[in-house]
Amino acid sequence: MLQLEIISPDETLFSGNVKLVQVPGQKNPFTVLNNHDRIISSLIKGKVRIVDMADKTRFFEIGGGVVEVNNNKIIILVDSLNTNPGK
């Protein structure tokens, strides 16, 4: 189980436990699963995909940002966001 927060300059967009997170990394997209190594990476414009504990998939379209993974906690700071929770 991973604890995820997605934060924009204006608000917390998502906070909860998830099974996996896929992010648009600067060099390549990558997936974060339970017990992932520590990492800090810049993000480019693209989609963040999350799968929550009920196996529901949600997408967040971001304009770029930064992700930090440490001890099964993921913090994604985004520049801008358009949400498409049903897609």
The span from the CA of 80 to the CA of 44, in Å, is 11
**Where does the pLDDT of residue 87 fall: very low under 50, low under 70, confident under 90, or very high at 90 and above?**
very low
- Token pair, residue 24, equals 């648009």
Type of residue numbered 43: L
Over range 34-41, report the average pLDDT: 95
How many other β-carbons are positioned within 10 Å of the β-carbon of residue 23?
A: 25
Confidence of residue 85 (pLDDT cuts 50, 70, 90): very low
Q: Residue 22: phi, psi to the nearest 5?
A: -115, 135
Helix residue ranges per DSSP H, 1-87:
none
